[in-house]
Amino acid sequence: MHVHVYCGHGEAKFWMEPDIELAQNHGLTAKDLRAVQSLIEEHKSEIRSAWQQHFGA
Beta carbons within 8 Å of 17's beta carbon, 6+ residues apart: 1
pLDDT of 56 reads: 85
Tell me: the pLDDT tens digits for 1-56? 999 999 999 999 999 999 999 999 999 999 999 999 999 999 999 999 998 899 88
Its pTM stands at 0.87
Handedness of CA 20, 26, 7, 30 (dihedral sign): positive
d(CA 12, CA 19): 16
Q: Would you say residue 57 has pLDDT above 90?
A: no
Q: Domains of the chain: which residue ranges? A: 2-55
